[in-house]
Protein backbone atom coordinates (compact mmCIF):
# COMPACT_ATOMS: atom_id res chain seq x y z
CA UNK A 1 0.00 0.00 0.00
CA UNK A 2 1.24 3.42 -0.73
CA UNK A 3 0.23 6.71 0.86
CA UNK A 4 -1.90 7.75 -2.17
CA UNK A 5 -4.71 5.36 -1.16
CA UNK A 6 -5.50 7.43 1.92
CA UNK A 7 -5.82 10.87 0.35
CA UNK A 8 -9.06 12.64 1.21
CA UNK A 9 -11.61 12.25 -1.57
CA UNK A 10 -13.56 15.27 -2.76
CA UNK A 11 -17.12 15.32 -1.49
CA UNK A 12 -19.77 14.76 -4.15
CA UNK A 13 -21.61 17.90 -5.15
CA UNK A 14 -24.93 18.06 -3.35
CA UNK A 15 -28.09 19.68 -4.54
CA UNK A 16 -29.70 22.24 -2.31
CA UNK A 17 -32.94 21.06 -0.81
CA UNK A 18 -35.74 21.69 -3.30
CA UNK A 19 -33.34 22.41 -6.19
CA UNK A 20 -34.31 20.76 -9.48
CA UNK A 21 -32.45 17.63 -10.50
CA UNK A 22 -30.09 18.06 -13.44
CA UNK A 23 -31.29 16.17 -16.47
CA UNK A 24 -29.27 14.30 -19.04
CA UNK A 25 -30.26 14.39 -22.72
CA UNK A 26 -32.81 11.60 -22.33
CA UNK A 27 -34.25 13.31 -19.25
CA UNK A 28 -34.61 16.57 -21.17
CA UNK A 29 -36.36 14.74 -24.01
CA UNK A 30 -38.80 13.12 -21.55
CA UNK A 31 -39.40 16.49 -19.88
CA UNK A 32 -40.21 18.12 -23.24
CA UNK A 33 -42.60 15.27 -24.07
CA UNK A 34 -44.38 15.80 -20.77
CA UNK A 35 -44.63 19.56 -21.32
CA UNK A 36 -45.89 19.02 -24.87
CA UNK A 37 -48.58 16.57 -23.69
CA UNK A 38 -49.77 19.14 -21.15
CA UNK A 39 -49.81 21.99 -23.70
CA UNK A 40 -51.58 19.76 -26.26
CA UNK A 41 -54.29 18.79 -23.78
CA UNK A 42 -54.73 22.40 -22.62
CA UNK A 43 -54.89 23.66 -26.21
CA UNK A 44 -57.54 21.09 -27.23
CA UNK A 45 -59.60 21.76 -24.07
CA UNK A 46 -59.46 25.52 -24.75
CA UNK A 47 -60.40 24.96 -28.38
CA UNK A 48 -63.41 22.83 -27.36
CA UNK A 49 -64.52 25.43 -24.81
CA UNK A 50 -64.20 28.19 -27.41
CA UNK A 51 -66.44 26.16 -29.71
CA UNK A 52 -69.06 25.83 -26.96
CA UNK A 53 -68.21 22.15 -26.50
CA UNK A 54 -67.06 22.29 -22.87
CA UNK A 55 -66.46 18.77 -21.56
CA UNK A 56 -66.42 17.37 -25.11
CA UNK A 57 -63.73 17.00 -27.72
CA UNK A 58 -63.01 19.88 -30.10
CA UNK A 59 -63.93 19.93 -33.77
CA UNK A 60 -61.34 20.27 -36.54
CA UNK A 61 -60.35 23.90 -37.19
CA UNK A 62 -60.09 23.24 -40.93
CA UNK A 63 -63.20 21.23 -41.85
CA UNK A 64 -65.24 21.85 -38.67
CA UNK A 65 -66.86 18.45 -38.91
CA UNK A 66 -64.67 15.75 -37.44
CA UNK A 67 -63.40 15.48 -33.90
CA UNK A 68 -59.88 16.83 -33.43
CA UNK A 69 -57.27 14.30 -32.44
CA UNK A 70 -54.12 16.00 -33.73
CA UNK A 71 -52.33 19.22 -32.83
CA UNK A 72 -50.65 20.57 -35.94
CA UNK A 73 -47.63 22.88 -35.70
CA UNK A 74 -47.97 25.65 -38.25
CA UNK A 75 -44.27 26.58 -38.32
CA UNK A 76 -42.56 23.37 -37.20
CA UNK A 77 -41.57 22.22 -33.73
CA UNK A 78 -38.04 23.54 -33.23
CA UNK A 79 -37.09 25.50 -30.15
CA UNK A 80 -39.91 27.28 -28.37
CA UNK A 81 -42.32 26.62 -31.24
CA UNK A 82 -43.12 23.20 -29.77
CA UNK A 83 -45.33 24.66 -27.05
CA UNK A 84 -46.19 28.13 -28.43
CA UNK A 85 -50.02 28.30 -28.64
CA UNK A 86 -49.79 30.68 -31.63
CA UNK A 87 -48.04 27.88 -33.53
CA UNK A 88 -50.75 25.27 -32.86
CA UNK A 89 -53.96 24.29 -34.61
CA UNK A 90 -56.36 21.43 -33.91
CA UNK A 91 -56.95 19.23 -36.94
CA UNK A 92 -58.67 15.91 -37.53
CA UNK A 93 -56.53 13.05 -38.82
CA UNK A 94 -57.59 13.56 -42.46
CA UNK A 95 -56.89 17.31 -42.48
CA UNK A 96 -53.56 16.82 -40.67
CA UNK A 97 -52.48 14.22 -43.25
CA UNK A 98 -53.62 16.54 -46.05
CA UNK A 99 -51.59 19.46 -44.66
CA UNK A 100 -48.37 17.40 -44.69
CA UNK A 101 -49.11 15.72 -48.04
CA UNK A 102 -49.89 19.04 -49.79
CA UNK A 103 -47.61 21.67 -48.18
CA UNK A 104 -47.98 24.23 -50.99
CA UNK A 105 -51.79 24.18 -50.73
CA UNK A 106 -51.58 24.16 -46.93
CA UNK A 107 -49.36 27.27 -47.02
CA UNK A 108 -51.82 28.98 -49.35
CA UNK A 109 -54.71 28.23 -46.96
CA UNK A 110 -52.64 29.27 -43.92
CA UNK A 111 -52.22 25.82 -42.33
CA UNK A 112 -48.43 25.96 -42.73
CA UNK A 113 -45.90 28.75 -42.68
CA UNK A 114 -42.26 28.68 -43.69
CA UNK A 115 -39.93 27.65 -40.87
CA UNK A 116 -37.60 30.63 -41.31
CA UNK A 117 -40.39 33.03 -40.36
CA UNK A 118 -40.58 34.39 -36.82
CA UNK A 119 -44.00 32.80 -36.27
CA UNK A 120 -47.38 32.15 -37.81
CA UNK A 121 -49.03 35.07 -39.55
Q: What is the per-residue pLDDT for 83?
A: 74
pLDDT tens digits for range 1-34: 555 566 667 776 666 666 666 656 677 778 878 8
Tell me the pTM. Answer: 0.62
Please indicate, yes or no, if residue 116 is contained in any of the structural domains.
Answer: no
pLDDT tens digits for range 81-117: 777 778 888 899 999 999 999 999 999 998 988 765 4
Domain count, the chain: 1
Please indicate, yes or no, if residue 41 is contained in any of the structural domains.
Answer: yes
Domain that holds residue 88: 25-109
Please indicate, yes or no, if residue 73 is contained in any of the structural domains.
Answer: yes
Per-residue CA distances from 75 to 22, 50, 85, 100 (Å): 30, 23, 11, 12
Please indicate, yes or no, if residue 17 is contained in any of the structural domains.
Answer: no
Q: What is the per-residue pLDDT for 49?
A: 85
Please indicate, yes or no, if residue 66 is contained in any of the structural domains.
Answer: yes
Amino acid sequence: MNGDDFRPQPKPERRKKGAPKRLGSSGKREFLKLIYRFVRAAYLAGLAAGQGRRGQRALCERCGEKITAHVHHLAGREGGKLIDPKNLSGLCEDCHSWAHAHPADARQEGWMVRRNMKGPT
